[in-house]
């Protein structure tokens, strides 16, 4: 599990999430593959060394999104320019930054970074203690 704090705003939304607000996210990543069978390999019995998976997730998801504000790139350019002057981590995305879209984006980021023999099986992104979105490779083939 990976924890990070992130704020977002839902452009043109008809509820309170149209305002900038943040969440304490919890990200779960599951990979699949065939465990190493070479008894002489230090990775014997492993599908993937957790240390390697953690390094990918920390570098490309947690370090990038932790304490960032994520907004739709369709937001007024003058507003985003002003925000950039005052915020170190403003991330513009080409989608509405809902939890559902974020989890799909995270899958797109992670998949090409995995070793060739490893498949991203699923990702679960908790936005609150009671709300999460899940992405499955089998639904996105």
The enclosing domain of 38 has a CATH number of 3.30.479.10
State pTM to two decimals.
Answer: 0.93
pLDDT in tens, 69-105: 999 999 988 988 898 898 889 999 999 999 999 999 9
Q: Return mean pLDDT, the chain.
A: 95
User: How many domains, the chain?
Assistant: 1
Other C-beta atoms within 10 Å of 82: how many? 11
Q: Residue 17 above 90 pLDDT?
A: no
| pLDDT at res. 140 | 86
Confidence class of residue 115 from pLDDT cuts 50, 70 and 90? very high
pLDDT in tens, 26-38: 999 999 999 999 9
Query: Is 8 considered catalytic here?
Result: no
Query: Is 21 considered catalytic here?
Result: no
Residue 90, classified by CB atoms within 10 Å of its CB into exposed (0-12), middle (13-18) or buried (19+), is middle
Active-site residue identified among 5, 17, 21, 117: 17
Range of the domain at 130: 2-139
Query: Is 67 considered catalytic here?
Result: yes
């Amino acid at each position: 599990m990976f924890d990070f704090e992130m704020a977002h705003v839902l452009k043109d939304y008809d509820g309170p999430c149209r305002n900038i607000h943040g969440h304490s996210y919890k990200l779960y990543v599951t990979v699949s593959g065939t465990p190493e069978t070479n008894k002489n390999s230090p990775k014997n019995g492993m599908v993937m060394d957790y240390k390697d998976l953690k390094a990918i997730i920390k570098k490309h998801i947690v370090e990038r999104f932790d304490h960032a504000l994520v907004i739709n790139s369709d937001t007024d350019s003058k507003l985003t320019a002003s925000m950039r002057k005052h915020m170190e981590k403003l991330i513009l995305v080409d989608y509405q930054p809902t939890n559902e879209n974020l989890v799909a984006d995270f899958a797109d980021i992670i998949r090409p970074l995995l070793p060739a023999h490893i498949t991203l099986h699923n990702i679960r992104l908790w936005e609150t203690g009671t709300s999460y979105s899940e992405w499955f490779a089998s639904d996105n083939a």
